Chain A
Amino acid sequence: MTELLQRVLAGGHESFIAAAYGISLALIVVELVLLRRRARRARTRT
């Protein structure tokens, strides 16, 4: 796994793996943040 990480950092084809997981995680975080904001809005309105 360390070797894979080194190759990712070196910017080879393996960096596509980091991009794929990074973007996926970012999209999930965005959904959770929006959900949290909506929950806050609902709490203040009711």
Chain B
Amino acid sequence: MPPTSSTDTTLAHRPNSRARPSGWLAYASAVRFDPLAGRLAPWCFAAAAILALAGLYVGFGVAPTDAQQGEVYRIIFIHVPAAWMSMFIYLLMAIYGGLALWLGTRLSSMMASALAPTGALFTAIALVTGALWGQPTWGTWWVWDARLTSELLLLFLYLGFMALEGAIDEPRRAERACAVLALVGSLNLPVIYFSVQWWNTLHQGASVSLTAAPTMARTMLAGMLLMALACWLYTIAVALVRVRLLLRERGLLPGGKRSEGAA
């Protein structure tokens, strides 16, 4: 049996593992992942900034004025990508949580922890921009319809995840509890997505779907997709930076001291 580094967090829970992981799986090890994340993060930040500028240019300079809503519809270029990200990020957190419980990989738990604040950020953006879009188009900031309420519940799930993580001192116990919360909370995702079909809501149905042609102008769609890509790359960059910090704070890198009480 080859020697296992004391900082190899992948195999920390698996004393019976016979071989070191190879290929991409090797990057589940903190020692291998940390330098890769350090190299990737700045490129992701730069690409996110460029794509966001391109998306805003297409959204404000190229996309036409909407025949019904006028200019106010341009909130779509931040609202829809933020709403997509709020759901994708929670789905990712649930997958990482499941992997952490199944395989015992601590890096998976840390990825879930690293994604949670950014998920909460995008959920808050989706809710705020939705309210700012709702007032001029619906005549109200907020209604307790299924889509809006389930999205608000998602924000509480993110905040609950972060609060739970902060409330438990022992990191392993906190990681397990958060993984369970992420998995259980993921039941809310289909409710958010299908709410406009299952219930009669004030919120409009999906304009973009994987199974049907989009019901909007191509330039509008292009601007929205560019902004969505920018949000993805921003999320990846921030999550990579945050995981590197978690590795240092928990003393999981060679020569790193453990520090408690990090935000």
Binding site for B on A (CB under 8 A): 1, 4, 7, 13-14, 16-17, 19-21, 23-24, 27-28, 31-32, 34-35, 37-39, 41-42, 45-46
Contact = CB atoms under 8 A, between A and B. Distances in A.
A27 B121 contact: yes
Contacts, number: 79
A23 B128 contact: yes
Interface residues of B, number: 33
29 contacts: A1-B60, A1-B61, A4-B60, A4-B71, A13-B70, A13-B72, A13-B136, A16-B75, A16-B136, A17-B74, A20-B75, A20-B129, A23-B129, A23-B132, A27-B124, A27-B125, A28-B234, A31-B121, A35-B238, A35-B242, A38-B242, A41-B262, A42-B245, A42-B248, A42-B259, A45-B257, A46-B248, A46-B257, A46-B259
Nearest to B246: A42
Contacts of B245: 35, 38-39, 42
Given A23-B128, A35-B242, A39-B245, A16 B121 contact: no
Main secondary structure of the interface of A (DSSP, over half): helix
Interface of B: 60-61, 70-72, 74-75, 78-79, 82, 117-118, 121, 124-125, 128-129, 132-133, 135-136, 234, 238, 241-242, 245, 248-249, 256-257, 259, 262-263
